[in-house]
Chain A
Amino acid sequence: MQSQQTNLCTNDYVIEMRNITKVFPGIVANDDVTLQLKRGEIHALLGENGAGKSTLMSVLFGLYQAEQGEILKDGKVVRINNPNDATALGIGMVHQHFKLVEVFSVLDNIILGVEDTKLGFIQKKQAYKKAQELSKRYGLNVDLDAIVENISVGMQQRTEILKMLFRDNEILIFDEPTAVLTPQEIDELMAVMRGLASEGKSILFISHKLNEIMAVADRVTVLRKGKCIGTVCTKDTTAQQLSDMMVGRAVQLKIDKAPAKTGQVVLDVQNLCVKGAGNKKLAVKDVCFNVRAGEIVCVAGIDGNGQTELGYAITGLTNASSGAIVLDGKDITHKSIRQRTLQGISHIPEDRHKHGLILDFSLQQNMVLQTYFQPQFQANGFIKFQQVQQYAERLIEQFDVRSGQGVDTTVRSMSGGNQQKAIVARELDRPHKLLVAIQPTRGLDVGAIENIHNEIVKKRDEGAAVLLISLELDEVMNLSDRIVVMYEGEIVGRLDPATTTVQELGLYMAGAKRDTNKEEC
């Protein structure tokens, strides 16, 4: 492999990471990993969750210091002790979990740390112009005046990208940037990335979406369980081959499922209206649909078209302003979250850090977040710690949640994918009639996605009703039995995945096509 590489390229490496080893308590995150980034190339870093991709990039960005190995910039050894050193070297990073000040405006976040000042006053005008220009040029479409906590996850991601572009960085690290983007946006981002690379910027692209890597990257380095498996040119390989390299076994990319055996209606949503953030306008307008037992209904749409609010209204995180939500024949529109949970709603939330987990709690405490008071875990108000531990250990085993110190690991220290697996494990294992899954595979690798999709299909076959809210077209097409498309808070299409195409679905999602029949009202 090494010799092949040297034949392929000149020695114009802008960044070389040689023999990096990074150890965390109980886990070797990087084991003798070597990564070489050429000037002007898009280099993908591929690996499962917990394979050590994020750790390796954090070492490069100065967030962690490696126990062994060295980093070379333009052929010279450098020491990167903190992100400031990395920034001085022209390395910019878009993190998987955004590093934004929630109460600041988008522009404030972009200039944070590089503010131009005159007599101590921040000069925002020029910065605004530059940011605006960049935003337009790369089609990021970011509202610079919006407050970060009010904008969608997708726009927050784009703010991060803009932030990095604003700093004129020459080495750009994208840590799973496409996880929250729509297919169109992904295409645009890919164009942006190619443009940047042709301008001589070098891009490190962390992803586990094989088709994206095949489409955009020049070379791929594959990590598995902290070890470097190899570096290959995308020209010489296939998606299947990469996925086998990454997982270490043959993976099924497409899911097998039997036709749905639908039962009675479990969830019936009638003329539902929900107010958006800030209570200004309706985010969900007069929506009607139902989900029957044994089927997966998918709400498709571009981020920010009311799907999140719809999910929140069904699970109780926000109140419906009018309309009715009926679960199993009982009106739950005004029931509390606890009552809904007990009536059989499982909920995989969109934002795992805000809603899904308590990051400073241990894994086992998070596993019983909704069930800690039930008789199997509680007696006379006291928690049965042994039962909690055994339960958590079983879930970890069953769903392959990897963590440094087992059930006692603080969830904050776990990788994003494993955090998501922990939530999925908790929600799927809880007895439920309805599963509301909002972006359940966001940030997960193919192996884990396969696993979660199979679990969801299994739940469906066991007779659960599944409401899937997803931004990823592959997931929508693969998993659903029926598709409901939302655009600007309204249902604009009801499709059958068997008879529809991705292109048609895209037209509905973009609002270019709409049916207004309200058959399920």
Chain B
Amino acid sequence: MLKRFFVAVWLWLKGAGIAVAKWFKNWFVKVDGKDIIPVRIGRWFKSLFVSTNNQPPQLVVLYQKDGTKSVLSSLLCVGAGIAIGLILLILVALFSKDLQANNVFRGFFILISGVFYTGNAANMSVGFDAFQLGNYLTRVTPLILTGLSVAIAFKTGLFNIGAPGQYLMGTMASLLVAMSIPATTATAQFFVWLLALVVGVVAGMLWGCIPGAFKALLNVNEVIVCIMTNWIAGNIVTWVFSGSQFVNPKSPGFLYKTNHFGIQNPRLGMDLLFPGSWADGGIVIAIVVAVMVWVMLNKTTFGFELKACGSNRHASKYAGMNDRRNIILSMAIAGGLSALGGALYFMNGQTEFQFSTTYQTLPSVGFNGIPVALLASSHPLGVVFSAAYIAFLEVAGTKVSSFADYNEYISDLIVAVIIYFAGFSKLIKDLLSTKRRKSKQVDAVQPTTQSKEA
């Protein structure tokens, strides 16, 4: 038995070895009439820039693809936003007697180095800091999910501005479950965590259904209902937790951390990658969910229906799709995603939920889902990157105020301007798509003067 196993391994190794050897041989000698690999690589590089076999240069082909344009326009937005940020840094310094040129320089340096900035006010340095990066990832997690929430609603032709409310309801429901069910063993704690997560998502789905149902059944604009449900959620959360046994007596206005009850997100190895930080499996879950949303939208009949309803509600009705059901479902999924973001962020174990202010201030992570989705052109996988970028800016903003002596409001302003620029990606994409006119008319007469003559 053992011998057969070794033989199999040996044969496999031998096969692999021969394949590798053949591949190496390909680098130097022509095999089967094919050119050697360096020549082929050279040809591939050439085809990138020069027309070959009647095909235009591959770079041009790549550029003409719709996806490339989306990515490019998003990158241009990021670049433009950062440039505007620099201008703001300079402008603010010009009108402030406390800020000098070195503040501007340091401010800009911090703005682009963000989470990789490991220095302080005195000396500037960059590097990988496991603690910082880990905490950064916990901030990215809810942003990915609220971004997905807004993006999936966009695909169905809806504007989900209700992400903050759904986020709060998800947080509330999952924290209530996590804190009220006592669990002592690790297994029990895991199941309580799982239950809390599921209850949170369901709460968010139901909360998202409200604007969806109003839109589908009564044709009430979803934005109005979303804004109202946001404030209702904010008030409910403060009311539910005020005076409850979950309030941490040491810091009034905040709840206990969930690890006080032994409940926290599984670490999935992230604590080993980023030792000492808050990093947990939430980021993994968020990315997996993003992939699932992408698959759902692009590969399934359900996604086909959602996109059809979003593009042309009349035609999808004509085709026999249930447009009302799809609108409600789309909002329910959007709500569930936002709620998952809240649940994952506050069941991290280390994070504290401030319930006392939600009736006045809705969580910005909900609203930031909108620029995240816009910057990603509502592409579920793009959302992962744009969420990472927006969270990066938030971190950079706090550092600009603490290390470069900028007022914290001004750093917020700069971040806000950059986020604002994220919304321009569609415009820039359209500009990229516009064909340049190849005019060969040399002595053309302007039509305005022409009409006057006529």
Interface residues of A (CB under 8 A from B): 25, 65, 67-68, 70, 73-74, 76-81, 85-86, 88-90, 315, 317, 336-342, 347, 349, 354-361, 365, 369-370, 372-373, 378, 381-383
Q: Is the CB of B454 within 8 A of A74?
A: yes
Q: Is the CB of B314 within 8 A of A88?
A: no
Given known A-B contacts A73-B454, A369-B315, A338 and B443 have beta carbons under 8 A apart: no
Among B64, B317, B435, B447, contact of A89 (Cβ-Cβ < 8 Å): B447
The residue on A at minimum CB distance from B312 is A358
Among A90, A356, A370, A381, contact of B451 (Cβ-Cβ < 8 Å): A90
Measured CA separation A373–B300 after assembly (Å): 9
Q: Which residues of B contact A65 (CB under 8 A)?
A: 435, 437, 439
Q: Which residues of A contact B320 (CB under 8 A)?
A: 336-342, 370
Q: Is the CB of A372 within 8 A of B450?
A: no
Q: Is the CB of A337 within 8 A of B318?
A: yes
B287-318 residues at the A interface, CB under 8 angstroms: 299-302, 304, 307-308, 311-312, 314-318
Measured CA separation A315–B319 after assembly (Å): 10
Q: Which residues of A contact B447 (CB under 8 A)?
A: 78-81, 85-86, 88-89
Q: Which residues of B contact A340 (CB under 8 A)?
A: 320
B185 interface hit (Cβ, 8 Å):
no
Measured CA separation A85–B315 after assembly (Å): 35
Measured CA separation A378–B447 after assembly (Å): 55
Among B307, B308, B322, B450, contact of A78 (Cβ-Cβ < 8 Å): B450
Q: Which residues of A contact B437 (CB under 8 A)?
A: 65, 81
Q: Is the CB of A76 within 8 A of B445?
A: yes
Minimum Cβ distance to chain A for residue B256 (Å): 41
B311-345 residues at the A interface, CB under 8 angstroms: 311-312, 314-322
B97 interface hit (Cβ, 8 Å):
no
B221-275 residues at the A interface, CB under 8 angstroms: none
Measured CA separation A73–B322 after assembly (Å): 53
B34 interface hit (Cβ, 8 Å):
no
Given known A-B contacts A89-B450, A370-B319, A372-B304, A70 and B314 have beta carbons under 8 A apart: no
Among B300, B318, B448, contact of A347 (Cβ-Cβ < 8 Å): B318
| 8 residue pairs A–B, Cβ–Cβ below 8 Å | A73-B450, A76-B445, A337-B317, A354-B312, A355-B318, A359-B311, A369-B319, A370-B319
Measured CA separation A369–B312 after assembly (Å): 12
Q: Is the CB of B444 within 8 A of A88?
A: no
Measured CA separation A355–B444 after assembly (Å): 44
Measured CA separation A383–B298 after assembly (Å): 9
Q: Which residues of B contact A369 (CB under 8 A)?
A: 308, 315, 319
Q: Is the CB of B314 within 8 A of A355?
A: yes
Measured CA separation A372–B300 after assembly (Å): 10
Q: Is the CB of B300 within 8 A of A382?
A: yes
Given known A-B contacts A357-B315, A358-B316, A359-B312, A338 and B322 have beta carbons under 8 A apart: yes
Measured CA separation A361–B319 after assembly (Å): 14
The residue on A at minimum CB distance from B444 is A79
Minimum Cβ distance to chain A for residue B135 (Å): 38
B440 interface hit (Cβ, 8 Å):
yes
Measured CA separation A32–B322 after assembly (Å): 48
Q: Which residues of B contact A78 (CB under 8 A)?
A: 444-445, 447, 450
The residue on B at minimum CB distance from A361 is B311
Q: Is the CB of B304 within 8 A of A79?
A: no
Q: Is the CB of A383 within 8 A of B299?
A: yes
Q: Is the CB of A76 within 8 A of B450?
A: yes
Minimum Cβ distance to chain A for residue B227 (Å): 23
Q: Which residues of A contact B451 (CB under 8 A)?
A: 88-90
Measured CA separation A337–B308 after assembly (Å): 16
B65-124 residues at the A interface, CB under 8 angstroms: none
Measured CA separation A401–B300 after assembly (Å): 27
Contacts A88-B447, A89-B450, A338-B322 known; 19 new A-B pairs at CB < 8 A:
A25-B64, A65-B435, A65-B437, A77-B443, A77-B444, A77-B445, A78-B444, A90-B454, A347-B318, A349-B318, A355-B315, A355-B318, A358-B311, A360-B311, A361-B307, A365-B304, A369-B319, A372-B301, A383-B304
B3 interface hit (Cβ, 8 Å):
no
Among A79, A349, A365, contact of B441 (Cβ-Cβ < 8 Å): A79
Q: Which residues of A contact B315 (CB under 8 A)?
A: 354-358, 369
The residue on B at minimum CB distance from A366 is B315
Measured CA separation A370–B418 after assembly (Å): 43
Measured CA separation A240–B438 after assembly (Å): 40
The residue on A at minimum CB distance from B318 is A355
Q: Is the CB of A338 within 8 A of B446?
A: no
Among B301, B302, B318, B441, contact of A70 (Cβ-Cβ < 8 Å): B441
Q: Which residues of A contact B443 (CB under 8 A)?
A: 77
The residue on A at minimum CB distance from B451 is A88
Q: Which residues of B contact A317 (CB under 8 A)?
A: 317-318
The residue on B at minimum CB distance from A385 is B299
Q: Which residues of B contact A381 (CB under 8 A)?
A: 300-302
Q: B364-384 toward A: CB 8 Å interface, digit per residue (1/0)?
A: 000000000000000000000
Q: Is the CB of B318 within 8 A of A338?
A: no
Best-buried of B321, B441, B446, B447 by chain A (most CB within 10 Å):
B447
Best-buried of A81, A337, A358 by chain B (most CB within 10 Å):
A358
Q: Which residues of A contact B302 (CB under 8 A)?
A: 381
Minimum Cβ distance to chain A for residue B169 (Å): 28
Measured CA separation A361–B64 after assembly (Å): 18
Measured CA separation A80–B322 after assembly (Å): 46
Measured CA separation A235–B276 after assembly (Å): 92
Measured CA separation A381–B304 after assembly (Å): 10
Q: Is the CB of B321 within 8 A of A338?
A: yes
Q: Which residues of B contact A90 (CB under 8 A)?
A: 451, 454
Minimum Cβ distance to chain B for residue A344 (Å): 13
Best-buried of A86, A88, A315 by chain B (most CB within 10 Å):
A88
Minimum Cβ distance to chain B for residue A382 (Å): 5
Measured CA separation A45–B438 after assembly (Å): 26
